[in-house]
Amino acid sequence: MDVFTELGSNQVSQGMYGNISTKVSADIFNLNASAATLFSFSKAQENCFTALALNLSDNVEWRNRKFNFGVLYAWKPLFYGLYEQNFALLSKFRLQDFGFKLGYNIRNFRFSKLAFADYQVAEGVNASIWEVPNLMYAFSYFKSWNAKSGVECRITNFDNYVIQQETNPMFVVNYAYNTTSTMQIYQEIGYLQAGLFNIRVNYFGAYYKVGWVWKI
C-alpha cells in the first residue's frame, strides 16, 4: 500500500492545490496488479475525485538482468461530461545506481452521452478525440546514504497520474527512509518549467509530496 499527500501550485490550479492518493498493489498469478485513486482539492476543481489508475506488470529476465513490462490505464474526469483516458505500455530497467523507464501512451478525450444530450449536440458529431502516440520516459540516479535511506534524482515527463505531452521535462528529487523492513516514508519535490526546450520560457509549477509505503 502506498499513500501520499501532495501540495503544489501551477498555472491552472488557481492558487494552491492539495492531493491525497491511495494505491494498493498485489501479486496475482505471478503478475503485479495495482489500483490507485486520487482526490484533489483546489478552486479549479469541480469534483474531488480526480483520477483512477490501473496497472498490470511482469518481470522478465534476459541475459541475467531483470526487466519489467507493464500496461497502464488512467481515467480522469476533467469537468462535467468530459473525461480523459490514457492507455500506456511501459518498460523498466534498473542498474545499481541508475534506473530507466521507457514507454508509449495514447490519450483520448471523450464526452459522455449525458453531456451530449444536455448540450443538445447534433447527431453524428464525434464525441471522442484521439491524440497521436506519445513517448514516456524517466531517467533516475539513485544514491544510498546507508542501509535505510537514499535519494533519487529523476528527469521524466510522467508522474503517478499525469503524462506530459509537451517537450519540457519534470525534475524530481525523492528521499526515502525505511523505518522497518516493511514500512517506508518518503518526501518528494517536483518542478516543471515550461519552455526549457522551447522558445517561450515561463514558470509552470512545483509540488511537495509526503508518502508512506507499507508492505504486507
- Render 98-165 in DSSP notation, one character per residue: EEEEEEEEEEEEEE-HHHHHHTTPPTT---EEEPPPEEEEEEEEEEESSSSEEEEEEEESB-SS-B--
Give the chain's domain count. Answer: 1
pLDDT given at position 89: 96
Instruction: Give the separation between CA 170 and CA 147, rounded to whole angstroms.
Output: 28
Q: Given this model, what pLDDT does residue 140 score?
A: 97
pLDDT for position 47: 75
Adjacent-strand bridge partners of 174: 152, 188
- 160: containing domain: 2-214
pLDDT at site 201 = 47
Residue 8: the pLDDT is 81
Which residue reads 476533467 in cell numbers? 78
How confident is the model at residue 197, as a pLDDT?
A: 54
pLDDT value, residue 3: 92
CATH number at residue 119: 2.40.160.40
Instruction: Say how far apart CA 118 and CA 26 lie, in whole Å.
Output: 41
Of the candidates 152, 121, 118, 119, the residue with the CA atom closest to the CA atom of residue 138: 152
Per-residue pLDDT tens digits of the chain, which is 216 residues long: 999 999 887 666 677 888 899 999 998 888 999 999 999 887 766 678 889 999 999 999 888 888 999 999 999 988 777 889 999 999 999 998 999 999 999 999 988 777 777 777 767 677 788 989 999 999 999 999 888 999 999 999 898 888 877 677 889 999 999 999 899 999 999 988 765 555 544 446 788 999 999 988
